[in-house]
Structure 1
């Protein structure tokens, strides 16, 4: 490979990694802003989603469950220390550390709220020039209890 071709390859990889980082930043922002349709659009068709060992049938079903459980509860998600590896022209993988505060809306069947610490392992696919999540596996290492959210009158 020529020196110029190597420089172009490296620049393309840097641009791809930066695009993936921006997409993932939107992911967490969309969760916290409750922009659920925008969130679903960040997933590739047929994306594999596993959270705490449970596989979700589709991004839409995960997002609808998130909407149901959180309602208007003020969540906070932070992703840190991305490790993005470009595996091919339109394929990449990544690892992100996570810290989140999730006070689910209070109710009879509400799961307990938590402040969580964990990790995402993901793969990405570029489709028509746009990087999307092709697989997502979320594992939390620690979840400290947090009171659930009660809407103020």
Structure 2
């Protein structure tokens, strides 16, 4: 793979992850569905979640669990390695804020460890594992 093709692929993967964060936070479930391969495996056990296999199953899981929860996710300092013209790995530092309907708020940080697959000219997330460095949960303000 030449340098321009490699840079183009890395940029496409960065755009993919940005789309993941935006569609997650805006609850654009149809848009979010498109960032994953059909056979995606997502591991959120590091955040108290589950390992979910398959795009449909993961979309059901995330849309049900986050329906009434306000989230803001930021991804930083991507480390993307192209392993072939159609596959790659990546690690993203992340921080998120989660506001629950009862007023509790979670501020947390960690990393996404991912693999990517390019099919029909489009990069998608094939596996994603979220690990956490910390999770701070605050109680609602007394009022």
TM norm structure 2? 0.86
Decide which moves more: 42-51 or 65-74: 65-74
List aligned pairs for 1:70-81, cutoff 5 A: 70-81=66-77
Match of 2:82 in 1: 86
**Which has the larger share of strand?**
2
Match of 1:118 in 2: 110
Q: Structure 1: which 5+ residue stretches go unaligned?
A: 1-7, 107-111, 149-153
Match of 1:67 in 2: 63
Q: What is the RMSD computed on CA atoms of the aligned residues?
A: 2.0
**After TM superposition, what 4+ stretches of structure 1 lie above 6 angstroms from structure 2?**
none
Match of 2:29 in 1: 36
Match of 1:24 in 2: 17
Conservation of the 8 A alpha-carbon contact between 1:28 and 1:77: yes
Counterparts of 1:147 and 1:78, CA distance in 2: 23
Residue-by-residue CA offset, 1:4-41 (whole Å, 9 max, x unaligned) = xxxx7111000000000001000000011110121111
Counterparts of 1:99 and 1:129, CA distance in 2: 30
List aligned pairs for 1:95-134, cutoff 5 A: 95-106=91-102, 113-134=105-126
Counterparts of 1:91 and 1:57, CA distance in 2: 19
Conservation of the 8 A alpha-carbon contact between 1:118 and 1:142: yes
- 1:137 is the counterpart of 2:135: no
Q: CA deviation at 1:147?
A: 4.6
Residue-by-residue CA offset, 1:83-142 (whole Å, 9 max, x unaligned) = 011110101110000100112334xxxxx7411101000000001000000111111110
TM norm structure 1? 0.81
